[in-house]
């Protein structure tokens, strides 16, 4: 399934849910916030939240900063 991840085309092999996508990307256990089509998906909804062709997914995390 073709998605837009962080603004770039991404071919998802496990598009069943947001949680599955994170696992596929190797960041399943990382503290990230998921934004699906400009809407924040709470961590508790990731395994039930499905994905559709062309969905835009953005992933953010905390880094060092002043």
Which positions ≥6 away from 5 have C-beta within 8 Å?
25, 57, 58, 59
In the bound complex, what is the minimum distance in angstroms from residue 43's beta carbon to other proteins?
9
Tokens of 30: 């990382």
Q: Is 6 in the site for other proteins (CB under 8 A)?
A: yes
- Within 22-61, the residues that bind other proteins by CB under 8 A are 25-27, 30-33, 35, 40, 58-61
Which residues of this protein are in contact with other proteins, per CB under 8 A?
Answer: 5-6, 10, 25-27, 30-33, 35, 40, 58-66
């Amino acid at each position: 399934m073709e998605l837009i991840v962080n603004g770039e085309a991404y071919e998802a092999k496990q598009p069943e849910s947001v949680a599955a996508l994170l696992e596929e990307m190797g960041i399943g256990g990382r503290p990230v916030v998921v934004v699906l089509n400009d809407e924040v998906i709470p961590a508790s909804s990731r395994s039930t939240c499905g994905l559709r062709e062309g969905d835009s997914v953005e992933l953010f995390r905390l880094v060092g900063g002043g």
